[in-house]
Structure 1
Amino acid sequence: MSRKRIIFCDFDGTITVNDNIVAIMKHFQPPGWDRLVEQVLAKSISIREGVGRMFALLPTSRKQEVVDYAINNVVIRPGFKELLAYCKDNEIEFYVTSGGIDFFVYPVLSEFDIPKDHIYCNGSDFSGSHIEILWPHSCDEHCHNDCGMCKTAIIRGYSPEAYERILIGDSVTDFEGAKLVETVFARSILVDLCKDLGLNYYAFEDFHDIIKQLEELKVK
């Protein structure tokens, strides 16, 4: 019996052209945000700690500004709608596994045919004086990286015996997941990680590249 294909796709910098968290911080410039980004990328602090501390720099009095900026400045990478159609036609399960935040992930993806329970991301609370990030999908007992939104915990829910697991991503939030799956579609710094570890990966620029490669893999 052949395995069912399943895709775990990153959001920021993958589905979207830009990294929305970094874009928000660059736009609103809360003091100290840039140092936190550097620490996350250098892995001197966890993703959960870094993202939580970044948003805690923004007062909730600016909620509407932050939400509007996050939603209105998103650019979707070419071919995304076509990839979703391809997955539907070929019975490939598609999940969004995002380290992004609900207040921009859900509105941006609302125009696409993705069930809400197929979208994993972090939450947010605007009830206090500053934005608080919530972590409904934190690490399981197998992960100790304090991911925030733990992609490996989600991937482990689908056994390699039953599923051919495919990850699409670009950055530090995808590193651990890339080590688990059978196939990686990578761009940006994720390409370097895949090269260094000898992972089974294909570089891509847009989702049309991924559709083409999936077709080639299907006939092998």
Structure 2
Amino acid sequence: MKPIIFCDFDGTITETDNIISLMTQFVPEESEKIAKSMMEKTITFKDGVSAMFELLSANQKDAVVQYLLDTTIIRKGFGDFVRFAQEEHIPFYIVSGGVDFFIEPLLKRYGPFSGVYCNSADFSGQQIKLVYPNSCDKECTKFKSQGCGCCKPSVIRKVAQKEHFKIVIGDSLSDFEAAKQADLVLARDHLIKRCEDLHLPYKPFETFYDCLDAIKELIK
């Protein structure tokens, strides 16, 4: 089996969730109400994130990017992990519910990657409008109820081949369905409990050196 990696971004590659971080910085009160509705599942993840970004004006783009460049901490060992995957010719995909205009500058020094699947932003209007190019496929059972935006299981089904050993790396809600597609999950935070509840094959991690050890063990 050939390994292939699908890795989350916010809270996985980065130590904190960038969307929460920037909303707390720029529109704390308004975004908190939306976040509460998302947690209570009265609105979908997709609709909630869209509503949050519409609180920001398009001319705040540079300020938002600079804020994240100044404050975001990349999880320890990520650079070494990416280099190892490159040296071993292991396909490495970033699959994120985040947005291209801040993911790309934060990842720039670490690439190239096999692909980056995420949401996009439209700055042509007065407010930031999100665009979702990676929607659910016909097999996605959550099409009507989940509203995932960037549908990670659909991306995995599109990219992975039968001979691939699928490794999903993640931490939370947006990774739950993707984990069900994996042959091995490298999990932290909320995803650990989900894997245990569903009896999914997983290994916990705190840094990407833990992930590196898991991959080396797999391919030796």
Q: TM-score range by the shorter chain?
A: over 0.9
Counterpart in the other structure of 2:131: 134
Amino acid at match of 1:34: E
Q: CA RMSD in A?
A: 1.6
In the alignment, structure 1 residue 188 sits paired with structure 2 residue 203: no
Q: Shift of residue 108 of structure 1?
A: 0.8
Give the alignment's TM-score, normalised by structure 1. Answer: 0.92
Moved more, 102-111 or 42-51: 42-51
Residue in structure 1 matched with residue 218 of structure 2 by the alignment: 217
Flag the 1:157–1:95 CA change in 2: closer, same or farther, 3 A: same
SS of the equivalent of 2:150 reads coil
1:157 aligned residue: 158
The farther-off stretch of 84-93 and 33-42 is: 33-42
User: Paired residue for 1:125?
Assistant: 122
State the identity %.
41
2:128 alignment partner AA: I
Secondary structure (helix, strand or coil) at the match of 1:124 reads strand
Aligned pairs (5 A) from 1:14-93: 14-93=12-91
Q: Please identify runs of 4+ aligned residues in structure 1 that moved more than 4 A.
A: none
| Change beyond 3 A, Cα 1:75–1:175 | same
Give the Å deviation of 1:158.
4.1
Aligned residues: 216
Residue identity opposite 1:174 in structure 2:
D
Aligned-residue offset at 1:20: 0.3
Structure 1 residues 64 and 85: alpha-carbon distance in aligned structure 2, compared to 1, 3 A threshold: closer
2:172 maps to: 171
Q: SS at 2:11's partner residue?
A: helix
Q: What is the alpha-carbon distance in structure 1 between the residues aligned to residue 60 and residue 174 of structure 2?
A: 27
Question: Secondary structure of the equivalent of 2:126?
Answer: coil
Q: For structure 2, which runs of at least 5 residues remain unmatched after alignment?
A: none
